[in-house]
Structure 1
Amino acid sequence: MKSLLQQVSPQVVFLMETKQTKEENKVLQKELGFEEGDSYSAVVSPRNRAGGLSIWWKDGIQLEVMSITQNLIDVKITDENVGVWRFTGIYGWPEGRDKWQTWDMIRQLSDQWDGPWLCGGDFNQVQSADEKKGGNLTAEPTMNEFNECLWYAGLQDMGFQGYPYTWDNSRRHGGFIEERLDRFVGTGNWRTLYPQARVLHLDKMRSDHRPLVCDTLRAEDEEPCWRWSFHFDPMWIKHEECTGVITNAWSEGDSSGIMERLTRCRDRLEGWSRQAYPNFRKQREKIKRALRTIERAPKTTERLEQRKQLEAEMDELEANEEEYWRQRSRVDWLKHVDKNTSFFHKKATTRRRRNMIRRIKSSAGQWYFGTEAVSGCIVDYFCSLFKASPSPSPTPVMDSIDKRMDDQDNSNLLRPVAREEITTALKQMGARKAPGADGFSALFFKRFWGVIGDDVTACITVSLRRGGCQRV
């Protein structure tokens, strides 16, 4: 679940069949990087360790809990961009004789609200025969009752992208059944608020239900136009081989310029880091691809055993990744051990925050979606911001200012920059501040100044004297 939340970074999470008390939910909420406390969650405790619901939301989300029962959590959300709407997380009665209570509950909620409304969860019912594979046919009256309930409430199925079935019984020796029991449904006026919204069926992992995502801030269906860029990782300096990699890359070709040397260091570090550190993301994707292949193939005992084995491998991989990151930040753990609550909360929140801009509002108040439109809006803004405007000649103003510089002051300003001045300026730079376009932060230059200092100093001296970055 942790890796799933890191991947999706949802603003609101609705969980069903948690089998957790309120206190246990708080612990999980904190571990997974969400703000803890009643101000950021609502919980329905299980009965005899069965059932249980919870909803979490991130700081900055304006959410008000309206009602809570054993089968629903009903909330009101205020989006400053589109207004107020309602979300109801539903866990439908599973037994056929009790399903009428689910439909009655939805009708009552509908009578209380005529604004934008989104419902999501496990309805424990299919809408049509093609939403079930294997086992006995679903009784037509129960499907009709479900559809009539949705029609009464003005709720329309949101559709989905991904594997069509959201639940299976995991039986490996015959009797395998798959159904689409989980879904999002919304009113027409809710869909008008979020015309770009889509529902995703994600990969199922260690659960009989598949996680669903309703993406309200969807960008256009296109790949981002930017690529991953290199960043010098502070963790690398702790590795015993790092200094050797940089020294060898820097010393090759003594006639190379600074930019060529930095490029060579970047290329060598990228190749070395792939060997020195495990690529958990790539390993996860490999297992997920294998699971998707099994899902789309006819279900046999052998394939279901393979799925169980792959899920166990994923659990082991995520445990190893968690330990890896724990060791990576061990210094911070030790340093902040007595005040870890705020420290780890901040670390977890920052680590999970997405940097992608999904939409942007222009200075004219118009919203833009998609990579190309967002990029164009940003470029237009800064072009306008830094556009030169006609200005009167400064000569009359400058002529009226008395000269304060004597020959000695002028000589001091024009003398060559000393190595000590460059070193002092470097020491004053924040080691872990954002790197430059080449991906190297001040930490890189500080840590390996003994290797690169002479060449960097010579480059800076020549550049200041002649202007531009010279080949030295």
Structure 2
Amino acid sequence: MVLRTMLVPGFLDEISDKIARAAEDKSNDNLNWTLIDLFNNNISSWALREIPRTGARFTWSNHQLNPVRSALDRVFVSATFEAIFPLCSLSAETSLGSDHMPLVFYIGEGFPVRTNIFFFETSWFKRQDFVPLVQHSWERLLTKVGGRDIIDWWTFMSSGLRQFLRGWNQNLGRDTKAEKSAMLTQIAQLDVLADATGLDEDAWASRYHLEEQLLHIYRMGEEEHWRKRGRVRVCGLAPSSWGEEARVSKEENVGLACTFSEAELEAIVKDMKTDTAPGPDGFPVTFFKRFWPQVKHGILLILNDFVLGRIDIARLNFRILSLIPKVPGAEQI
């Protein structure tokens, strides 16, 4: 379990210029020993133990050229908690965009869960090589799809394209990731030097400049990321939303139940709002509009077979899970 947060009692920020537990918890001599003793006595009376922190010596800075730095952010646990999680640990990460160091508290068991959801980024269209790459990948998948029914056909094609785009995107961001990693390493090295021997004003200015550059790269990359993920809306309509006179008649329903023509479906796709959240498969409306010549055959067959009641639409989300025993004698879950 990983908590990326600062687990600090709320009153610490109110007296951040004075509170500490020892003289080495602050970068200058401005200490209030009365408050230090009071704080330590309260910790002892509550029978709490502070989890030792690895990484940065200080966890707060006022971000000046000659900064005041202090160890304000801490994690305290009870004896009961420590008995349950004896391997818990605490580490400080490099601070970016905040006067506090982010702390990672690990309880010593399990692993962080990483999402495997695919997201199609519209910024990919800005690359001149993107559309030809997708078209080539689609044609390559067509040679492998074989004699499948339309549901299996779409599942194979869409999952194959998602896999291709994931790998392509990882390689696409390699240079940017390397640049971010190098800048983060430089910042971390300056922080280590500051803890060990201190930095002059020029070195602190260099550190803050690197931080601003890195934050700018992060912001530029995340704007598109969160814009696409922030448009999910869930809503519903009550049965009384329309009166009887506003409902579809039997004659109108017959027309609505007819199959789609290719021209009709193409007109519907063109009229769809482009900048909307993607579906469960991760592909937004933009993808279908841009690559309509490639996908229209499968989409038209799926919709018309559904109208005629010839396919089970639930199979679009069907998966087979194969359980592979990793230890001898494993027979049940």
Cα 1:420/1:224, change in 2 over 3 Å: farther
Shift of 1:440: 0.6
Contact 1:167/1:180 (8 A) holds in 2: yes
Q: Equivalent residue for 2:18?
A: 123
Q: 1:352 to 1:244 in 2, by over 3 A?
A: closer
Give the aligned partner of residue 37 of structure 1. Answer: none
Aligned with 2:41: secondary structure? helix
Does 259-268 or 241-250 show the bigger shift? 259-268
CA contact 2:262–2:300 (8 Å) conserved in 1: yes
Residue matched to 1:166: 58
What do the CA deviations read for 1:202-261 (whole angstroms, capped 9, x no partner)?
424699x7535699xx99975443524211112222322221112111122435222222
Aligned counterpart in structure 1 of residue 94 of structure 2, from 197, 203, 213: 203
In structure 2, what is the equivalent of residue 265 of structure 1? 161
Using the alignment, how far apart are the partners of 2:185 and 2:278 within structure 1?
Answer: 35
Please point out which of 437, 451, 454 is paired with 2:280: 437
CA shift, 1:458, in A, is: 3.1
The 5 Å alignment of 1:81-96 reads 87=11, 89-91=13-15
Q: Distance in 1 between matches of 2:220 and 2:311?
A: 49
Higher-RCO chain (CA-CA 8 Å, sequence separation at least 6): 2
Which of 36, 40, 51 does residue 146 from structure 1 map onto?
36
Question: What is the TM-score of this pair, normalised by structure 1?
Answer: 0.40
CA contact (8 A) 2:183 2:214 kept: no
Matching of residue 235 in structure 1 with residue 123 in structure 2: yes
Q: 197, 201, 213: which one pairs with 1:316?
A: 213
Structure 1 residues 324 and 288, CA gap change in structure 2 (3 angstroms): closer
**Residues 203 and 462 of structure 1: is their aligned pair in 2 closer, same or farther, counting only changes over 3 Å?**
same
Give the counterpart letter for 1:258 in structure 2.
W
So what's the TM-score if we normalise by structure 2? 0.53
CA distance in 2, matches of 1:241, 1:464: 38
Task: Give 1:165 deviation, angstroms.
Answer: 1.5
2:262 to 400, 415, 419: 419
**Residues paired across the two proteins, number:** 266
Deviations 1:381-405 (A, max 9, x none): xxxxxxxxxxxxxxxxxxxxxxx96
* Mapping of residues 298-447 of structure 1, within 5 Å: 299=196, 313-320=210-217, 415-427=258-270, 429-447=272-290
**For the aligned residues, what is the CA RMSD?**
5.8
Matches of 2:286 and 2:229 in 1, distance apart?
Answer: 24
Partner SS state of residue 128, structure 2: coil
Find the aligned partners of 1:132 and 1:9 in 2 and give their Cα distance.
Answer: 22
Whole-angstrom CA distance in 1 between matches of 2:54 and 2:176: 23
| CA deviation after TM superposition for structure 1 residue 437, in Å | 2.4
Give the structure 1 partner of residue 322 of structure 2: none
CA contact 2:60–2:71 (8 Å) conserved in 1: no
Rounded Cα–Cα distance in structure 2 between residues aligned with 1:168 and 1:413: 64
Is the 8 Å Cα contact of residues 167 and 181 (structure 1) preserved in structure 2?
Answer: yes
Aligned position for 1:341: none
Deviations along 1:64-108, one digit per CA (max 9) or x if unpaired, are xxxxxxxxxxxxxxxxxxxxx9746235xxxxxxxxxxxxxxxxx
Rate the CA distance shift 1:319–1:467 in 2: closer, same or farther, 3 A. closer
Q: Which structure dedicates a bigger proportion of its chain to strand?
A: 1
In structure 1, how many angstroms separate the alpha carbons of the residues matched to 2:259 and 2:93? 61
Amino acid in the other structure paired with 2:301: A
Stretches of structure 1 that go unaligned for 5 or more consecutive residues are: 1-6, 15-84, 92-120, 170-177, 189-197, 330-346, 356-403
1:182 partner letter: L
Q: In 2 relative to 1, CA 124–283 (structure 1 residues): closer, same or farther, beyond 3 Å?
A: farther
Deviation by residue 1:18-73 (Cα, 9 ceiling, x = unmatched): xxxxxxxxxxxxxxxxxxxxxxxxxxxxxxxxxxxxxxxxxxxxxxxxxxxxxxxx
Aligned pair 1:225/2:113, yes or no?
yes
Task: Tell me, yes or no, if structure 1 residue 182 matches structure 2 residue 72.
Answer: yes
Q: Does the residue aligned with 1:461 lie in a helix, a strand or coil?
A: helix
Aligned pairs for 1:90-105 (under 5 A) are: 90-91=14-15
User: Cα distance 1:87–1:427, how it changes in 2: closer, same or farther (>3 A)?
Assistant: farther
Report the Cα distance in structure 2 between the residues aligned to 1:450 and 1:313, rounded to whole angstroms.
46
Counterpart of 1:467 (choices 297, 305, 311) is 311
The answer to whether the Cα contact below 8 Å between 1:427 and 1:446 also exists between their aligned partners in 2 is yes
Contact 2:187 2:210 in 1 (8 A): no
Deviation at 1:444, TM superposition (A): 1.0
Identity %: 13
1:449 correspondence with 2:292? yes
The alpha-carbon distance between structure 1 residues 318 and 409, as it changes in their structure 2 partners (threshold 3 A), is closer
Given that 1:166 and 1:181 are in contact with CA atoms closer than 8 Å, whether structure 2 keeps it comes out as yes
Structure 2: how far apart are the matches of 1:157 and 1:147?
Answer: 16
Q: 1:283: Cα distance to partner? A: 4.5
* Matching residue's letter, 2:213: E
| Displacement of 1:292 | 5.0
Distance 2:118 2:229 in 1: 20
- Structure 2: unaligned runs, 5 residues or longer: 62-67, 79-88, 146-152, 233-248, 317-333
